[in-house]
Structure 1
Amino acid sequence: MYRFAGRLAPWLGALCLLSLVAGLYLGLVVAPADYEQGDSYRIIYIHVPAAWMSMFTYMVMAVSSAVFLIWRLKIADVVAEASAPIGAAFTAVALITGSFWGKPMWGTWWIWDARLTSELLLLFLYFGYMALRGSLDTPQSSAKAAAILAVVGVVNIPIIHFSVEWWNTLHQPATISKLDTPSMHISMLRPLLLMVLAFQLLYFYNLMIRVRTLILTREGRASWVAELDTKGPENA
Structure 2
Amino acid sequence: MHAYANPTRFLKLAKPLTPWLLFGGIAMVLAACAWGILSTPPERLQGDSVKIIFVHVPMAWLGMAGWTGIAIASISELIWRHPLASHAARAIAVPGALFALLCLVTGSLWGRPAWGTWWVWDGRLTSMLVLFFLYLAYIVLANETSKGAGQGGGQSRIAAIFGVVGIVNLPIIRFSVEWWETQHQGTSISIMGKSTIDALYLWPLLVSATGFSLLFGAIVLMRMRASLAQTKVEARLKRMTAE
Length-normalised TM-score, structure 2: 0.87
1:98 to 92, 107, 113: 107
Matched residue, 1:2: 11
Alignment of 1:138-177 (within 5 A): 138-139=148-149, 140=153, 143-177=156-190
Render the CA deviation track for 1:8-32: whole Å, top value 9, x for unaligned.
Answer: 1011112212211220111110111
RMSD: 1.6
Say which of 83, 97, 103 aligns to 2:92.
Answer: 83
- 189 and 208 in structure 1: CA distance in 2 versus 1, 3 angstrom threshold: same
Matched, 1:66 2:66: no
**Is 2:206 the counterpart of 1:196?**
no
Aligned to 1:22: 31
Q: Is the 8 A contact 1:59 1:154 kept in 2?
A: yes
2: CA distance between counterparts of 1:53 and 1:180?
18
What is the identity, as a one-letter code, of the residue corresponding to 1:113?
Answer: D
Q: How many residues align?
A: 223
* Stretches (4+) displaced over 6 A: none
Q: Give per-residue Cα distances to partners, 1:147-186, cap 9 Å, x unaligned.
A: 1111001010011001111111111111121747411111
Give the fraction of aligned pairs with identical amino acids, expressed as a percent: 40
Is there any run of 5+ residues in structure 1 with no aligned partner, and where? 224-236
Q: Partners of 1:96 and 1:74 in 2: how far apart?
A: 36
Are the counterparts in 2 of residues 45 and 191 from structure 1 also a CA contact under 8 Å? yes
Distance across 1 between alignment mates of 2:143 and 2:33: 38
Closer, same or farther in 2 for the Cα pair 1:106/1:12, shift >3 Å? same
Query: Deviation at 1:99?
Result: 0.7
- Cα distance in 2 for residues equivalent to 1:135 and 1:150: 14
Q: Which residue in 2 is equivalent to 1:41?
A: 50
Corresponding residue for residue 217 of structure 1? 230
Q: Say if 1:17 and 1:198, in contact at 8 Å, map to a contact too.
A: yes
Q: Which residue of 2 aligns with 1:119?
A: 128
Shift in CA distance, 30/142, structure 1 to aligned 2, threshold 3 Å: farther
Match of 2:61 in 1: 52
Q: CA separation in 2, counterparts of 1:213 and 1:38?
A: 44
Question: How far is 1:143 from its partner?
Answer: 3.3
Match of 1:230 in 2: none
On the 8 A contact 1:61/1:79 being kept in 2, the answer is: yes
- The amino acid of 1:199's aligned partner reads F
What is the one-letter code of the residue matched to 1:218? T
TM score, norm. by length of structure 1: 0.90
Q: Which runs of 5+ in 2 are unaligned?
A: 1-9, 237-243
Q: Tell me by how many angstroms 1:111 deviates.
A: 1.2
1:98-152 Cα offsets, whole Å, 9 max, x none, are: 1111111111111111011100110111011111123346125553111111100
Mapped to 1, the partners of 2:106 and 2:64 lie a distance apart of 16
Letter of the structure 2 residue corresponding to residue 161 of structure 1: R
Residues 38 and 210 from structure 1, CA distance in 2 versus in 1: closer, same or farther, beyond 3 angstroms?
same
